[in-house]
Chain A
Amino acid sequence: MSAVARSVRPFASRVLSQKLPLAAACRVSPAAGFPRGSVRSFSQSPFMELKKYTESHEWIELAADGKTAKIGITEYAAHSLGDVVFVELPAEDLEVQAGEPVGAVESVKSASDVNSPVSGKVIQGNAILEDKAKFINESPEGDAWIAEIEVTDAAELDSLLDAETYKENYAKE
Chain B
Amino acid sequence: MSAVRPLRRGINLLGSKSLSQPTSIVANGSTLLPRQLTSPLHRGLRTPTAARPFLRVSSVSSPNGGVRFASSAAPSGPLRQTQLYDLHLARGAKMVPFAGFDMPLQYSDLSHVESHKWTREKASLFDVSHMVQHELSGPGAIELLMKVTPSSLDKLGHNQSTLSCLLEEGTGGIIDDTVITRRTDETFYFVTNAGRRDEDLAFLEAEISAYKQAHGADSIKWSILEDRALVALQGPLAAEVLQSYVHGSGPETDLSTLYFGNCRELHLTLPDGSRTPHPLLISRTGYTGEDGFEISIPTAGSPSLPAQVTELLLTNADQVRLAGLAARDSLRLEAGMCLYGHDISTAQTPPGASLGWVVGKDRRDPATANFNGASAILPQLASPAKTLSQRRVGFTVEKGSPAREGAVIVDINDESRTPVGIITSGLPSPTLGGTNIAMGYVKQGLHKKGTEVGILVRNKLRKATVTGMPWVESKFYRGKA
Instruction: Mark each residue of chain A from 96 to 123: 1 if its CB lies under 8 Å from any CB of chain B, else 0.
Output: 0000110010111111111100000000
Q: Which residues of B contact A82 (CB under 8 A)?
A: 106, 111-113, 326
> Which residues of A are at the interface with B, using a C-beta cutoff of 8 A?
54-58, 73, 77, 80-83, 85-86, 88, 94, 100-101, 104, 106-115, 173
State in angstroms the CA–CA spacing of A110 and B428 once bound together.
Answer: 10
> Which residues of B are at the interface with A, using a C-beta cutoff of 8 A?
1-2, 7, 9, 11-17, 43, 45-46, 48-51, 94, 106, 111-113, 116, 326, 329-330, 400-402, 404, 427-428, 430, 434, 458
| Interface contact A85-B112, CB-CB below 8 Å | no
| Interface contact A56-B12, CB-CB below 8 Å | yes
State in angstroms the CA–CA spacing of A56 and B10 once bound together.
Answer: 9
State in angstroms the CA–CA spacing of A107 and B402 once bound together.
Answer: 9
Q: Which residues of A contact B402 (CB under 8 A)?
A: 85-86, 106, 111
**Chain B interface mostly helix, strand, loop or mixed?**
loop
| Interface contact A85-B13, CB-CB below 8 Å | no
Known: A86-B428, A88-B458, A108-B427. A81 touches B1 (CB 8 A): no
Q: Which residues of B contact A80 (CB under 8 A)?
A: 14, 45-46, 48
Q: Which residues of A contact B329 (CB under 8 A)?
A: 109
Residue of A nearest to B330 (CB): A108
| Interface contact B45-A107, CB-CB below 8 Å | no
**Of B13, B43, B49, the contact of A77 (CB 8 Å cutoff):** B13
State in angstroms the CA–CA spacing of A108 and B11 once bound together.
Answer: 19
User: Can you list 24 A-B pairs, Cβ within 8 angstroms, ordered by A?
Assistant: A54-B12, A55-B12, A56-B13, A57-B14, A80-B46, A82-B111, A83-B112, A83-B113, A85-B428, A86-B401, A86-B428, A88-B401, A88-B458, A106-B402, A108-B326, A109-B51, A109-B112, A109-B326, A109-B427, A110-B50, A111-B401, A112-B15, A173-B46, A173-B94
| Interface contact A110-B12, CB-CB below 8 Å | no
State in angstroms the CA–CA spacing of A147 and B43 once bound together.
Answer: 24
Q: Which residues of A contact B51 (CB under 8 A)?
A: 109
State in angstroms the CA–CA spacing of A115 and B116 once bound together.
Answer: 30
What are the 5 tightest A-B residue pairs by CB atom distance, in nearest-first order?
A56-B12, A110-B48, A109-B50, A110-B16, A112-B14
Residue of A nearest to B16 (CB): A110
State in angstroms the CA–CA spacing of A100 and B5 once bound together.
Answer: 11
| Interface contact B48-A109, CB-CB below 8 Å | yes
Known: A108-B326, A110-B43, A110-B48. A86 touches B400 (CB 8 A): yes
State in angstroms the CA–CA spacing of A100 and B46 once bound together.
Answer: 21
| Interface contact B16-A111, CB-CB below 8 Å | yes
B147 CB to nearest A CB, Å: 39
Q: Which residues of A contact B48 (CB under 8 A)?
A: 80-81, 107, 109-110
B19 CB to nearest A CB, Å: 12
State in angstroms the CA–CA spacing of A173 and B326 once bound together.
Answer: 18
Q: Which residues of A contact B14 (CB under 8 A)?
A: 57, 77, 80-81, 110, 112
State in angstroms the CA–CA spacing of A54 and B94 once bound together.
Answer: 23
Q: Which residues of A contact B404 (CB under 8 A)?
A: 111
Q: Which residues of B contact A54 (CB under 8 A)?
A: 12-13
Q: Which residues of B contact A108 (CB under 8 A)?
A: 50, 112-113, 116, 326, 330, 427-428, 430
